[in-house]
Structure 1
Amino acid sequence: MANAQEEERAGANSELRIITLELMKLAHKRKTSFGKVSEEFVANVYELEDLLAYCAGNSTAQPQKKLSKEKL
């Protein structure tokens, strides 16, 4: 059980490193801060979560539109 948890944690850490590197590249390309790009990414993650829940029929309310001015 511990090995499975360690493997899962290692996989998650690897994915986070990849996402972090991509966000850093995007911030550099846009000439903006990593924090700003990260905030936009997190907002988009929550918007996607809302949209998926709505599409799956788990929500009767329309998903809120929270798109930022810049797109990833």
Structure 2
Amino acid sequence: GALPEGTWITRAPGFKRKMALMAKVQDEVGHAQLLYSAAETLGKPREKMIEDLISGKSKYSNVFNYPAETWA
């Protein structure tokens, strides 16, 4: 997921790896955009979904966001 991998952007061991990681994080964020678009077809606006997530009304699924403890 974008959240755990994004924390490594500033600590990537070189410029090429930093650029590759930024592209991967951007790709993951794109997947989230697609999922929100699909969810909106069920009748709830994206802004409301995000609002509910921030307020704790909706549960955050941690399926893909396991901590990245090391670069490797």
After the TM superposition, which parts of structure 1 deviate over 2 Å for at least 4 consecutive aligned residues?
38-41
What does residue range 26-65 of structure 1 map to in structure 2 within 5 Å? 26-29=39-42, 31-41=43-53, 43=54
Structure with greater contact order relative to length (CA < 8 Å, sep ≥ 6) = 2
Distance (Å, rounded) in 1 between the aligned partners of 2:15 and 2:41: 39
**Cross-structure match for 2:56:** 67
Q: What CA distance in whole angstroms lies between the structure 1 residues aligned with 2:20 and 2:52?
A: 29
Q: What are the ranges of 5 or more consecutive residues in structure 1 without an aligned counterpart?
A: 44-65
Hey, what's the Cα distance between the residues in 2 that align with 1:71 and 1:39? 12
* CA drift at 1:39: 3.0
Distance 1:8 1:35 in 2: 28
1: CA distance, partners of 2:50 / 2:33: 8
Q: The residue matched to 2:41 in structure 1 has which SS?
A: helix
State the percentage of identical aligned residues. 13
**Greater per-residue helix proportion:** 1
| Number of residues of Structure 1 aligned to a counterpart in Structure 2 | 47
Larger Rg: 1
Question: How far apart, in 1, do the equivalents of 2:49 and 2:16 lie?
Answer: 34
Q: TM-score, normalised by structure 1?
A: 0.52
